[in-house]
Amino acid sequence: MTKINTLSVKGFRGVKKELSLELNSKSVLLFGDSGTGKSSITDAIEWFYKDSVKHLSSEEIKGVTALRNIFIADAEKCSVEINFTDSSLDYQKSIILKKSNLEVETSNNTDAFRKYAENSKNENLILRYGDLTGFVLATKKEKLDSLSEIIGFSEILNVRGVLKKAVGDIKRSLQSRNYDDEINRRQNQIMALLKESVVSDEQYIDKINEIIEPLGLGKNVADLKDIDDLLSLFKKSDDSAVIEQRAYYSDVISKLNDLPNRLDNLLGLYDSYYKLFHNIVQNIETLKKITLDILWREGLNVLTGSIIEKKDECPLCLQEKNREELIKEIKLRLIPLIAIKDEINRLGEAKKDVQNILNEIEKITVGIQYNKCFDLEENITIKDFVKCVKDYISLVSQELSIDILKVQTVKTKDEIMFDRVKLNETSEFCRKRNEFLASQIKGNKILEVQDKIILSRQAYFDIKKLKKEKEILEKQKTSLGTIYNAFVQKQKEELEAFISSYSKEINEYYQYMHPGEKVENIEIKTIEKDDELTGITIEFKFFNKITSPPQKYLSESHLNSLEIAFFLASVKAFNKKNQFFILDDIISSFDSNHRKRLGDLLLEKFSNYQVFILTHERNWFDYMKNIVKGKADWIVSVINWNESKGTHLDETLVDLKRIIEQNLADNDKTGLGNLMRKYLEGLLKEISEEAEVNVKYRSNELNEDRMSNELLSNLKSKINKQPSKDIFEPIINKVMSSIFVVNRDSHDSSFDPSIGDCRAFWQDVVTLEKLFYCENCNKLISIKYYDNVEKKIRCKGGHLEYDWSI
């Protein structure tokens, strides 16, 4: 996981001159009054990762226009540059003005960075005050969608959908075929022929042997395969054709008996197809846009890929167009198509279901047609029937082949009813023909036996085939059901494991901020309907009573705490690439106690993360500054704004000293007086703090506003009581009497010092500093290192020491 080494922002939002945070992976606490442009830093990071800034993207604010500082010259760059602990990811993103158009340029187009940027888009990096009710107040479905998107559960739901549909299809096949009915009808046929039902090959073979015994053929059947040999023993006669025809009519009757069930299923499935079709055409305008789907998707691939050089021009119409804006626009156009494409896919599935039944019906007619008895003249009724079925199949197929984009209507199920009178007439015809043929062979024992064997064999083999089909389907149903159940179980276990861990962390962080406040056991709960996950809600114990949702009882600041707890738990759960996060002004609704607790939580539980804290709340800043003081992995700074620099960081004393000494070396006295006064003020504040110099009480922000003369005067009072006062007094007096140190108005006075005046004053300041500052340990002398025995004040290493009384 990576952290940020440096963040440099220039010409972006409120930042005019370069603002550079040299972090070296350290956390940073930034204070800035309202209007100083703190959020420019957050905006810069958001734009860096997401190509847009949420609160700056609306119908009225197009593209990157709001991001570039309006005071910078046209030729100047607006840029955000981040250098990471993993330097292969270092990246600069700029907005450049070219021919009156704003273009985005990037510095690192490696696959490594592209992959990192893509993964980072879904990570929880920024929490602003405006986001503080986002998750908690979202609907149950939005919560589920939000988590599913982050965890990647949408892929799981897709696979689950495929398995569930397969199980459902097989169940429907088993029900629609109604195997038991078809088997029973054939059993009844065997019963009528052999006077008993047959349940096994052995029983059937015994029965055959029993009925042929009186014929004295001298051959027995030992296996089903022997039946063919047995039938060949029967001499062919003119009446043999009767038996063939009886077998044919029996077969046609069986097939016709199977048909009504197929037709019923067909109508049910066709009706579903019809309803889906009409639902889709209700949304005709979106439907028409489906034709553009391929074009838009391909366009998106071109724009986001690296094939075409990145410039702000539409590759299709060659008009000038901001690239990011164009990508965003296409993505927006694709969103409404997702739902309708799903519907069209479902229509395709419904069409396939109808087609499958049509295929079964066609198979039945083929079975009737491809038999030499079909061509007999007297079978005109059967021929008519077969034609009728074929016409019917054509009619339904025609409705299925309608292109929804061209024709917006299909026939209703009432308009595609099959003529069942014809079916009954054909069935009756076959039954009568069978009876007539039976009467033709009545009394002829050999033919009667032959007839029984042929007809029963046909029925028995049908039963065996139907049983086999049913068994295989049931086996597939069981297997798929088992796989589906195991899949659902796996999904539940993983989701429960995740939710249990996620809830635990959320609860832990919330309790840390609100101990003993009667809001306990915060848990995320899944909501299921018909075995489907439909939403997520948040439950908690409120005065020992389980309740939901949080907004029912919790105040705004408690809801904000909950959202912070969610964010922090999400950082730990989901962020896999970035070990940093930004909290931008998130504590406005908190009282001082809860602000402190949040600070403690961050330092205790997120010490291995790089945390960016931006705040305009002086109290919290002071508290945080105090608790991170002395921690090597924290940097504290103040953000200001002025017309020349825009948003900028206050210089540290080290920075100021470097600038002053450079100016002196360059003989440049521009602004030097103010810089030296500022340095002296900073130095005196640090000395006063370490030496415990008492100053008059002032409230928070005024406390920071003390001038050098006041601080020097208080320091002098303290020094005057010390045994070593002679060492300090001369230089303090000298600095106090300097024209640079008079009163508060001197910052704006008309005093115009020469470079020599500046050098002399700076020399005095450095002399004063050297009395208090140890160059060996780089620390000021401090009461913290006071030697009670020797009565001395010392630096940390004991290199610098003075007699001192406290």
- The 117-156 contact track toward another protein, x by CB under 8 A, reads ----------------------------------xxxxxx
Q: How far is the CB of 578 from another protein (least distance, A)?
A: 13
- State the Cα–Cα distance between residues 303 and 292, nearest whole angstrom: 16
- State the Cα–Cα distance between residues 641 and 19, nearest whole angstrom: 11
Amino acid at 555: S
Which C-beta is closer to another protein: that of 418 or that of 460? Answer: 460
Kindly tell me which residue out of 165, 363, 631, 799 binds another protein, with binding defined by CB under 8 A.
Answer: 165
Kindly tell me which residue out of 574, 597, 633, 718 binds another protein, with binding defined by CB under 8 A.
Answer: 574
747 binds another protein (CB under 8 A): no
- State the Cα–Cα distance between residues 277 and 462, nearest whole angstrom: 38
Which C-beta is closer to another protein: that of 506 or that of 635? Answer: 506
479 binds another protein (CB under 8 A): yes
Kindly tell me which residue out of 62, 98, 387, 475 binds another protein, with binding defined by CB under 8 A.
Answer: 475
Kindly tell me which residue out of 70, 162, 316, 739 binds another protein, with binding defined by CB under 8 A.
Answer: 162
Which C-beta is closer to another protein: that of 164 or that of 383? Answer: 164
- The 484-503 contact track toward another protein, x by CB under 8 A, reads --xx--xx-xx-xxx-xxx-
- The 622-661 contact track toward another protein, x by CB under 8 A, reads ----------------------------------------
Contact between 509 and 564 under an 8 Å Cβ cutoff? The reply is yes
- The 661-700 contact track toward another protein, x by CB under 8 A, reads ----------------------------------------
Q: How far is the CB of 306 from another protein (least distance, A)?
A: 24
Measured torsion, CA atoms of residues 631, 634, 635, 640, in degrees rounded to the nearest 10: -120
225 binds another protein (CB under 8 A): no
Which C-beta is closer to another protein: that of 151 or that of 241? Answer: 151
Contact between 361 and 388 under an 8 Å Cβ cutoff? The reply is no
Q: How far is the CB of 171 from another protein (least distance, A)?
A: 12
- Using DSSP's 3-state secondary structure scheme, residue 16 falls into coil
- State the Cα–Cα distance between residues 83 and 101, nearest whole angstrom: 28
Q: How far is the CB of 476 from another protein (least distance, A)?
A: 6
- State the Cα–Cα distance between residues 360 and 354, nearest whole angstrom: 10
Q: How far is the CB of 245 from another protein (least distance, A)?
A: 26
Amino acid at 86: D
Amino acid at 383: K
Residue numbers 36-75 binding another protein by CB under 8 A: none
Q: How far is the CB of 494 from another protein (least distance, A)?
A: 5
Kindly tell me which residue out of 444, 476, 551, 703 binds another protein, with binding defined by CB under 8 A.
Answer: 476
- Which residues neighbour 735 within 8 Å (Cβ) at sequence distance 6 or greater? 680, 708, 712, 741, 761, 764, 765, 768
Q: How far is the CB of 2 from another protein (least distance, A)?
A: 15
Planar angle of CA 556, 562, 563, nearest 5 degrees: 90
The interaxial angle of helices 179-194 and 445-513, nearest 10 deg, is: 160
Does 753 sit behind a cis peptide bond, omega within 30 degrees of 0 on the bond before it? no
Kindly tell me which residue out of 192, 292, 366, 483 binds another protein, with binding defined by CB under 8 A.
Answer: 483
- State the Cα–Cα distance between residues 258 and 364, nearest whole angstrom: 9
Using the contact rule CB under 8 A, the part of the chain among 557-565, 568-576, 688-696, 765-773 near another protein is 568-576
Which C-beta is closer to another protein: that of 385 or that of 502? Answer: 502
Kindly tell me which residue out of 573, 664, 760, 783 binds another protein, with binding defined by CB under 8 A.
Answer: 573
Q: How far is the CB of 227 from another protein (least distance, A)?
A: 15
Tokens representing 200 are 């096994």
159 binds another protein (CB under 8 A): yes
Which C-beta is closer to another protein: that of 215 or that of 473? Answer: 473
Residue numbers 504-543 binding another protein by CB under 8 A: 504-505
The C-alpha R_g of the chain, in whole angstroms, comes to: 44
Q: How far is the CB of 265 from another protein (least distance, A)?
A: 16
- In DSSP terms, 30 is beta-bridged to 614, 637
Q: How far is the CB of 543 from another protein (least distance, A)?
A: 28
Kindly tell me which residue out of 90, 169, 600, 686 binds another protein, with binding defined by CB under 8 A.
Answer: 169
Exposure letters 74-99 (e unless 16+ CB within 10 A, then b) = eebbbbbbbbbbeeebebbbbbbbee
Exposure letters 314-345 (e unless 16+ CB within 10 A, then b) = eeeeeeebbbbbbebebeeebeebeebeebbe
- State the Cα–Cα distance between residues 448 and 759, nearest whole angstrom: 135
Q: How far is the CB of 469 from another protein (least distance, A)?
A: 7
Using the contact rule CB under 8 A, the part of the chain among 17-25, 165-173, 286-294, 634-642 near another protein is 165-173
Q: How far is the CB of 169 from another protein (least distance, A)?
A: 6
Planar angle of CA 742, 743, 744, nearest 5 degrees: 145
Which phi-psi region, left, alpha or beta, contains residue 531 (left: φ > 0; alpha: ψ -120 to 50)?
left
Which C-beta is closer to another protein: that of 361 or that of 741? Answer: 361
Which C-beta is closer to another protein: that of 497 or that of 727? Answer: 497
Please work out the total of residues on this chain that contact another protein, with binding judged by CB under 8 A.
46
Helices (H) and strands (E) in the chain, counts: 22, 19
In terms of Cα–Cα distance, which of 518, 510, 499 is closest to 562?
A: 510
Which C-beta is closer to another protein: that of 502 or that of 590? Answer: 502
Tokens representing 572 are 């730990």
Q: How far is the CB of 135 from another protein (least distance, A)?
A: 17
The continuous run of DSSP H or E covering 663 comes out as helix 653-665
Kindly tell me which residue out of 166, 344, 388, 527 binds another protein, with binding defined by CB under 8 A.
Answer: 166
In terms of Cα–Cα distance, which of 569, 568, 572, 615 is closest to 595?
A: 615
Contact between 550 and 8 under an 8 Å Cβ cutoff? The reply is no
- State the Cα–Cα distance between residues 456 and 77, nearest whole angstrom: 92
Q: How far is the CB of 657 from another protein (least distance, A)?
A: 42
Planar angle of CA 27, 30, 36, nearest 5 degrees: 150
Strands (E), 421-571: 519-529, 532-542, 545-547
- The 273-312 contact track toward another protein, x by CB under 8 A, reads ----------------------------------------
Q: How far is the CB of 352 from another protein (least distance, A)?
A: 7
- Which residues neighbour 658 within 8 Å (Cβ) at sequence distance 6 or greater? none
Tokens representing 50 are 């997401």
Tokens representing 373 are 């008895």
Using the contact rule CB under 8 A, the part of the chain among 218-226, 410-418, 465-473, 628-636 near another protein is 465-473
Using the contact rule CB under 8 A, the part of the chain among 72-80, 211-219, 569-577, 794-802 near another protein is 569-577
352 binds another protein (CB under 8 A): yes
- State the Cα–Cα distance between residues 522 and 234, nearest whole angstrom: 85
Q: How far is the CB of 363 from another protein (least distance, A)?
A: 13
363 binds another protein (CB under 8 A): no
Tokens representing 280 are 């889709």
Kindly tell me which residue out of 395, 472, 546, 739 binds another protein, with binding defined by CB under 8 A.
Answer: 472
For residue 632, how many other CB atoms are within 10 A of its CB? 7
- State the Cα–Cα distance between residues 683 and 687, nearest whole angstrom: 6
Kindly tell me which residue out of 278, 288, 297, 468 binds another protein, with binding defined by CB under 8 A.
Answer: 468
Q: How far is the CB of 787 from another protein (least distance, A)?
A: 44
Residues that bind another protein (CB under 8 A): 151-156, 159, 161-163, 165-166, 169-170, 349, 352, 465, 468-469, 472-473, 475-476, 478-480, 482-483, 486-487, 490-491, 493-494, 496-498, 500-502, 504-505, 572-574, 576
